[in-house]
A and B are shown apart, each in its own frame.
Chain A
C-alpha cells in the first residue's frame, strides 16, 4: 500500500467551453502540507473544490485512500474545508459554529462541550463561546473557521486562500500557527494560495499551476532553486531570466559572456533560459567583472537595495547592500552555483525581464481573490 491519501487521475474540467483543468495527475501523501500555487484562474481552487466534492470532473477520477470518490457528495467525504471568506454561520455564536459538525453527527452534548472547549483552547479563543460572529475580528473569525473544520476530525483539511483577507502581520502569525496545528494534529493540509512567500514558508510540497496545467511539483527548495521553466522561475521569487546558449556541458553563454555553470546534458549550442536570482549576483569593480552595465534605478528595501541594471539591452534586477548611483556603471560576477539552466518552454521570453518591472510586480502581488471564486 502506498501512503497516498488522495489521487487525481487524468482530470479535466471545463466551464462554458473554457478548459479550466487539463489532464491533471496528482498524488497527495498522507500527513503532508501540500500547496497549490498559481495566479488567479490557474485552476487551483477548482482542483480543491473537486477534492472537497463541490465540483465534479468532466473526465478523470478522484481517489481517496485508493477508493474512487467521484459522485460522493461533500457531506460523505472525510475532509473539511476552510473557505476563502470563512463562511461562518452568522445566526450562530462561536460555540454553536464550532459545534455544528458534531451536532449533525448527533454527538452527545457532553462530548460536544469537551471537544469545543478543547478547540477553543487550540485556537486561543477561550471565553469567546457566546460571542457573535460579527463581533469578531478577521483573524478571530479565521480561527473559528479552523476550529469548526478541525473539531470533526477530518483526515484532510482543505484551505482555500484562508489568509487572503488578513493584514500582513496577522498573516505571518497565522502561517506559523497553521503550520503548528498541522504538525501537532498530523493530518494532511491541502492549501491554495497565490502568495508564493506563503507557499514557500509553510509547505512540504508545492504544486505550481498555470492555465489548468501543473508546471512543477516539488519541495520549496526544489521549486526555488531548480525551477522547471520561466513561469515557475518568475512566479516563485524574483528572477532574471536571460536567453542563453549552451556551449558545452557546464558552459553557458549569455549577455555576451561565457559562464561556468553546474548544468549538463543539453545539446551543444542549444538555446536555453538561464535563471539568475537577484540575491546571487555580486557587485564588483568593473575591471574584475564578468559583465557590466548601467544602473537605471535603485530602490531602498530595508535589508538591501534593489538595483535595476541594464546589460546589453536587458534589465537585470540585483539585490545589494551597497548603494549605487543611478547612471553609474557597475561590474557583476555570477558564480557557477548561482546559475540555473532551463529548457525552452512556451513561457520563454514572457518573464524575467525587469524593463516593465513595476506593472508586473503589481499584477503578481495583487492577484484578485474574487476571480478565482468564479472558476
Chain B
C-alpha cells in the first residue's frame, strides 16, 4: 500500500519536474553554455572578459532599477495600507483600478508615455505654459521643460509599468494580517505610530520583499522602456543584450551579459532578503 501511494506521489509530481527541467534548467544551461563558448563552440572566457567594458551600463541599470523600485515602494505602501483598511466594496473597486492598466498591452502603455512626455506632448506643453507664464510675469528666463529621453523619463516608465506588482503583494499581506494584533498592540499601550512601527510594518515585510523582487527584476533588465523613453542617452543593460541577439548576432556575448546580470540580481535580492530578515526580528 505504502509503496504504491509513494509511487503515485512521485508520478503526480513528474509533470512539474519535466516542466522545470525543460523550461528552467535547460535554458539556464544553454545560457551558461553560450556564455562560456565562442562562435565555434570552443570553451572560452573571452566573453566574460569583455564584460568589464559594460560596467557603467550595469551600474546605471541597477541604479535606475533601484530608484524605480524605491519610488514604487514609497507610492505603493501607503496606498496598500489605505486599501486594506477600507470596506470590501471599496477594496475591490481599488484593486480593479490598479489591475486595469495591466490588461493593456505593455508596449502600448510605454508608447503612450512617449506622447505624454515628448516635447510637444501633453505634460510637457502644460508644464511649459506654466514656465512661460512665470517667465512673463516675473521677468525670468527659465528654460523650457524637457522630459523625454532623460533618465527621469525611464524611471517614470518603470514606476508606471511595475507599480501594481509592488502594491498587490503588500496589500495581500496587510489584508491577511490579524486585526487583533493591532488591537493587542494598542491594548499594551501603543499609540498609532507605535503600532505601525512595531506591528504593522514588520508584519508587512514579506509583502515588501516580494514587491521589491517583482519590481526590481523587470526594471533592471528592461530594454523597451529605456529605448522609448530614454533615447540614446540612457542605454541599459537590457538594451545591450537585445542588441547582441538582434543586431550584432553575438549570442555568446549576449548570453554572458545575461548570465552576469542574473548573478547581480541574485546578489541584490540576497542582500535585500538578509536585510529584511534582520529587520523583522530586531525591530522594536
Contact = CB atoms under 8 A, between A and B. Distances in A.
Interface of A: 52-54, 73-75, 80-81, 83-85, 87-92, 96, 100-101, 103-105, 148-149, 152
A98 to B, nearest CB: 10
29 contacts: A73-B191, A75-B187, A75-B188, A75-B189, A75-B190, A75-B191, A75-B194, A80-B188, A83-B183, A84-B180, A85-B178, A85-B180, A87-B183, A88-B184, A89-B181, A89-B185, A89-B199, A90-B181, A91-B203, A91-B280, A92-B284, A100-B188, A100-B198, A101-B189, A104-B188, A104-B190, A104-B198, A149-B187, A152-B189
Contacts of B183: 54, 74, 81, 83, 87
A103 to B, nearest CB: 6
Given A89-B181, A90-B203, 10 more contacts: A73-B186, A73-B191, A84-B180, A87-B180, A87-B184, A89-B185, A91-B203, A92-B284, A104-B194, A149-B187
B202 interface: yes
Interface string B165-205: 00000000000001011011111111100100011001101
A52 B199 CA distance: 19
B187 A80 contact: yes
A104 B187 CA distance: 11
A53 B190 CA distance: 13
Nearest to B203: A91
Nearest to B186: A74
A83 B180 contact: yes
A80 B191 CA distance: 14
B281 interface: yes
Given A89-B181, A96-B284, A75 B186 contact: yes
Contacts of B178: 85, 87
A53 B188 CA distance: 12
Nearest to A81: B187
A152 B184 CA distance: 13
Contacts of B194: 75, 104
A100 B280 contact: no
Interface residues of B, number: 22
B181 A87 contact: yes
Interface string B202-216: 110100000000000
A369 to B, nearest CB: 13
A148 B188 contact: yes
Given A81-B183, A83-B180, A91 B188 contact: no
Contacts, number: 65
A296 B205 CA distance: 63
A85 B183 CA distance: 12
A80 B280 CA distance: 25
Contacts of A96: 284
A83 B179 CA distance: 11
A107 to B, nearest CB: 11
B180 A91 contact: no
Given A91-B280, A96-B284, A103-B284, A52 B181 contact: no
Interface string B137-174: 00000000000000000000000000000000000000
Nearest to B201: A91
A54 B190 CA distance: 13
A129 B203 CA distance: 21
A185 B249 CA distance: 80
A92 B181 CA distance: 12
Q: List the 10 closest pairs (A to B, CB-CB), nearest first.
A: A101-B188, A87-B180, A87-B184, A74-B186, A104-B189, A91-B202, A81-B187, A75-B189, A83-B180, A75-B186
Contacts of A74: 183, 186-187
Contacts of B191: 73, 75
B184 A81 contact: yes
Most buried by A among B180, B191, B199, B203: B180
Contacts of A149: 187-188
A96 to B, nearest CB: 7
Interface in B270-284: 280-281, 283-284
By CB atoms of chain A within 10 A, which of B181, B184, B187, B194 has the most?
A: B187
Contacts of B284: 92, 96, 103
A91 B281 CA distance: 6
A52 to B, nearest CB: 6
Contacts of A88: 184
A152 B188 contact: yes
A53 B183 CA distance: 10
B44 to A, nearest CB: 49
B89 to A, nearest CB: 14
A83 to B, nearest CB: 5
A88 B188 CA distance: 12
Contacts of A90: 181, 203
A200 B188 CA distance: 29
A46 to B, nearest CB: 14
A86 to B, nearest CB: 9
Contacts of A105: 189
Contacts of B186: 53-54, 73-75
Contacts of B281: 91
Contact of A100 (B180, B185, B203, B205): B185
A52 B180 contact: no
Contacts of A85: 178, 180
A286 B202 CA distance: 73
A85 B184 CA distance: 11
A73 B191 CA distance: 9
Contacts of B180: 83-85, 87
Contacts of A101: 188-189
A83 B188 CA distance: 12
A100 B181 CA distance: 12
Contacts of A52: 187
Contacts of B184: 81, 83, 87-89, 148
A96 B185 CA distance: 13
B218 to A, nearest CB: 29
Nearest to B206: A91
